[in-house]
Amino acid sequence: MFPAKLRRFNRSVLRSTIPYQHCSRSHASTVKQFTAKPLSPSIISEEKRRQYIQQIWLAKEAKEITIDEIAKKLGYTNVYTAQILNLQAPLNPEKACELCEILGFTIDPIYSEILEEMQKAPKRRFDQQILQEPNVLFTYRLLEAVQHNAESLKQVVNEKFGDGIMSAIDFHLNVSKIKGAQGEDRVVITFDGKFLPFIEQKIDNQRTVDQENAQKNQ
C-alpha cells in the first residue's frame, strides 16, 4: 500500500519510483522517490561523505550482519556490496527498501539523506595513503602482487583473447575463502571483466566521419 501522499502522483510516476509496496510502513516513509535513470551526481563534501559511511557501517555492526550476508540478500557480489556501503557504487532504487530492512534503518532523517546519497552517481575515489606500506598492508601487498605479475598476465590474456584489455566497468569482483592442501585458509580474489579488443583504426572509417561532419556543416 502506498503512503497517502504518494497516491496523488500519476501512475507513470509511480512506475518509475521505488516499489513502496515491498517496504514496511516505517521504512516506506524513510525511502524517498528516485527514478532509475538518469542518476544525479554526488556533490556532498568529503566530511559529509565520511559521516554517511560511518553511519552505514555502524548500522551494519549493530545488526551483526556480514558483508556476505548482505550481498546474498541483495543478489550482489560481496565486493560490490561493500562498494555500495562505502558510497563507491550506486544503490539500485529497487533495492533501497530491502537495504532499509537489512540494516535496520529507522525513519530518522539522517537515514533518508543517506539513502538518497547512496542512489546517486558516486565520486569513485581512493586515498593515496592506502597504497603505502605500512598504512594498509593488505592493499599494499595486493598491489604488489598485481604489479609483479602484470606483464605475464598481459601475455596470457593476449594469447587467449588477442590485443585488448579487461574492462573494469563491465566487471565483477568477488572474494572467497577456501582451504588449502595443508588445511590452511586461503584467499581467492576473482576479477571477472569483459574483454575489450582494441580496434583497427582504418582511414576509411575516419573519412566517413569527416564526410558526415562536412555535410552537417553545409
Instruction: Give the residue numbers annotated as catalytic, written as ranges.
Output: 141, 144, 167
Q: What is the CA radius of gyration of the chain?
A: 23
Grid cell, residue 112, equals: 533518508
Q: For 68-83, b where at least 16 C-beta lie within 10 A, e where not — what string?
A: bebbeebebbbbbbbb
Query: What gap in Å lies between CA 79 and CA 71, rounded to an integer?
Result: 8
Query: What gap in Å lies between CA 218 and CA 214, rounded to an integer?
Result: 6
* C-alpha neighbours within 13 Å on the C-beta side of residue 5: 4
How big is the chain, counted in residues? 218
Residue in the structure block whose three cell numbers are 602484470:
150
Whether residue 140 contacts residue 133, with contact meaning beta carbons closer than 8 Å, is answered with yes
